[in-house]
Structure formats: structure tokens, C-alpha cells
Copies of this chain bind each other. A is one copy, B any other.
Amino acid sequence: MKKYILKIECQDEKGLIYRICDVVFKYHLNIETNNEFVDEDNNRFFMRASLVGNINTAEFIGTLEAFLPKGAIIECVEAAKKDIIILATKEAHCLGDLLIKHHSGELNANILAVIANREILRELVEKFNIPFHYVNSDDIERQEHEKRVLEAMSKYKFDYAVLAKYMRILSPNFVKHYPKKIINIHHSFLPAFIGANPYKQAYERGVKIIGATAHFVNDDLDEGPIISQDVINVNHEMSWQQMQKAGRNCEKSVLAAALDLALEDRLFVYKNRVVVF
């Protein structure tokens, strides 16, 4: 007996669950957990189920397709570790957190490689015997740098690319290669403090709370669909550098939480919203 994750997204219609359960039943699958949600504003149906049984997933998907509205997005995969690559620049906290989790078997993913536009993290990454690709971003055009990064990425077959404080803005051209596949951590509670140095912005605004936001990357800087967010308290005694230091603990746990959700196939991206089951 194997465990599968089934994800369905389609136009809502009466009887959808009934029809789906009918197929599930006929394939002798047992439903372990099941979540549904209908976005009524957009008449959109979302479902995630974990199933136990033994099926040919391609055939199962084909059968389901016949019973669902046209254009339905159906995924069914065996529950298993996924593959990720990490992009980083110079800060070690998010990357290090993933490396430690990976090393101790707590990450539900294989880290295939780390790609960075600085060399500073090489030593840390190579301690863990993970390939490190240095793609220097100095003295070259953004377009050319992105081309080289894409080249490095293309060597790997991965489920998600994780931007673990990768401090480069990605062009729409870059992003379109990996739609809904790139997860970023931004060091503020978006939409507050978009752009450069959010801790300095937060300090200057005199906020009493700072935060972090993990989101899928789309064409607009820091405007992508939000997966998870968290905050911590700050006070008047803290300089922006102290906020930054405190904020890093928040950044890494928010990124780790978002990645866990992605790795368990719990996320649906629809328009600018993430359905989290």
C-alpha cells in the first residue's frame, strides 16, 4: 500500500466531491485526510486529499479528468521527498537552517545544489557536501547574470527553488521559467516595507512589530502570493541592526514553515492568493 497526494483545482460545480469520491472509491483508495475549499468570488474549487492504496497515477488522473470540468488541474503524486535547489547571497541564517535540517533528516527534501552570486557561503555549503555554484554578479548586466543562473539551475531537476535571502531582483523573464516554483523570504510583513532594507524602514517608521513573509515569486517585486508570515515585537531601544538580528530568527522559521507546506503539496496558488491546506 502506498500513500498519494491528490490535488484538484477547477471551476466549481454541484456534485464535484461526489464524482471525485466515486472515482477514488472505484480505485480502492482510502481517504486519510481531505480538505476542500470553494472561492465563491471566483467560483473556484480546490481539493487536497491524502489517499492510501495502489494505483497507476497517470491512469487515475485520466479517469478523473473525464468527470471534472474542462480545464481542471489535477495532480496526483506518491508522497515522497521532493528535490530543491537554494539560491543565496551572503547571509547564512536561512540557508544554514535548511542545511542543518537536511543533515539531520528533518527536511522533507533533498537539497540538490546551492547557487550564489557571492562566494562567501561556499565554505558553509561544502561542509555539508552539497554542490555550490558561484555565479558572480559583478560587472555584468542583469540579463547576462540571469542567463548564467538559469544555466546553473537547468542542470537540476527540482520541485522548488528556494530564495534563502537571495538579494537580487528577478526579472519577469527569469520567473516565467519556473512559475509557482520559486519561494522567496522577504524580511518584512508584506505589504509593509517593500524593497530595500526593510529593517531600516521599520526603524524609521517606529513600528512596534516587525515580521517576515514567505511568498511565491511572480513578476512584481515583493508582490507575489503569500504563503506564510510571522512577526516579533520590537521596541524603541533597538537600532535597525538589532531589529535585523532579531528578525533573522523570524525569517528562517517563516521560510522553513512555508517550505514544509510546499513539500507536503499543501499549497494552491490562484490569482494573488495561496490556499493552504
Contacts and interface: CB of A to CB of B under 8 A. Distances in A.
A39 B203 CA distance: 12
Contacts of A24: 18
Contacts of A257: 249
19 contacts: A15-B25, A17-B17, A31-B36, A32-B40, A33-B37, A34-B36, A35-B36, A92-B104, A103-B124, A106-B245, A127-B127, A127-B128, A191-B192, A191-B205, A205-B272, A206-B272, A208-B226, A235-B276, A236-B273
Contact of A18 (B22, B229, B230, B274): B22
A149 interface: no
A80 interface: no
Contacts of A204: 272
The 5 closest A-B pairs by CB, nearest first: A96-B100, A18-B21, A92-B104, A206-B273, A192-B192
A161 interface: no
Interface in A1-31: 14-18, 21-22, 24-25, 30-31
A145 interface: no
A180 to B, nearest CB: 14
A274 B206 contact: yes
A228 interface: yes
A274 B272 CA distance: 33
Interface string A34-77: 11111110000000000000000000000000000000000000
A7 to B, nearest CB: 14
Q: Name the residue in A37, A104, A228, A276 with the highest tally of chain B Cβ atoms < 10 Å from its Cβ.
A: A104
A189 interface: yes
A193 interface: yes
A253 B97 CA distance: 11
Given A18-B24, A93-B106, A209-B211, A37 B236 contact: yes
A135 interface: no
